[in-house]
A and B are shown apart, each in its own frame.
Chain A
Amino acid sequence: MSTRRLTRDALLTAVALILFTVEAQVPVPVPIPGVKLGLANVVNVWAVCTIGPWDALCILLCRVILGAFFAGHLMVLFYSLSGGLLSWCVLVLLRRVTTRRQVWICGVCAAVAHNAGQLAAAVFVTRSAAVLAYAPLLTLSGMVTGLFTGLCTQYLLARRLS
């Protein structure tokens, strides 16, 4: 791994971690477990679209592990990991079939996949299918927040290219 690549990935991890940590300090107005803006999704989508899936996976894993330390709860690691990995898989599949003007689609799908992964983790942890009652709400919130983070990424990419 070249120094340039290592530095770039480390910097992106730091950016994602800052977004993740700052966002965790802001209370969410909706009392539904798992609903949040997911600003770190911007870095995730951007990384998969520009520098390739494997570097994006490294950044994601580093951010999730370090983020769990900063959040101070081991459960955070489990939930972020399952959500993050599922959204990464979806992004890797989508990057081939979407154009630069469709990055918001990646954002929406990644956010919905992230929430779906978290919900799967919640079913596993609570050993109860009752939490699936949250599925429609989490899908809705994922679409709204994903549209926001996806558009952020799209404008970011456009700016970089011009």
Chain B
Amino acid sequence: MKTRVWVLIFAAVLGICLFFVLRPRGGAPSMVAAIYVDGELARRVDLNQVQEPERYVVDGPDGSNTILIEPGRICVEEADCPDQICVLEGWLPDFGFPIACLPHNLLIVMEEDAP
């Protein structure tokens, strides 16, 4: 195939991806966070209902994560995984993507308001 064709294909894929990354998200964001451990729902928190900051420790077979739940936001404060990606991802919902700690199979997702 001509190089030009490939460049066009890549440009199209690039455009589509940029659109999905940068698209404005309509409506009020959901404020219910769901914490999944090993694919199972471990806890669901309505961040609007949180009064006091709370630490929630998830002890899995592979390691532990300390999740900090504050009024209106949630993050992983501490983890004993090597890459620390889940800690660096910062706060939900500001981050805009699920917080994932893949070595420990932990996932924090913002859900729709309905349970």
Contacts and interface: CB of A to CB of B under 8 A. Distances in A.
Q: Are A and B genuine complex partners?
A: yes
Interface stretch (B42-50, B51-59, B95-103): B95-103
A117 B16 CA distance: 19
Contacts of A102: 3, 6
A105 B11 CA distance: 12
B6 A136 contact: no
Interface in B85-115: 85, 88-90, 97-98, 100, 102-103, 105, 107, 109
Interface in B58-97: 62, 82-83, 85, 88-90, 97
Interface in A101-153: 101-102, 105, 108, 112, 122, 125-128, 130-131, 133-137, 139-140, 143
A105 B3 contact: yes
A140 B97 contact: no
Interface residues of B, number: 29
Interface string B24-48: 0000000000001011000000000
Given A33-B102, A127-B39, A137-B97, A143 B14 contact: yes
Contacts of B102: 33-34, 75, 79, 122, 125-126
B13 to A, nearest CB: 7
Interface residues of A, number: 31
A108 B13 CA distance: 12
Given A73-B103, A75-B103, A140 B82 contact: no
Nearest to B39: A127
Interface in A14-68: 31-34
A97 interface: yes
24 contacts: A31-B89, A33-B85, A71-B82, A73-B103, A79-B102, A102-B6, A108-B10, A112-B13, A125-B102, A126-B100, A127-B39, A128-B39, A128-B107, A130-B98, A131-B100, A134-B97, A135-B20, A136-B16, A136-B18, A136-B20, A137-B21, A143-B10, A143-B13, A143-B17
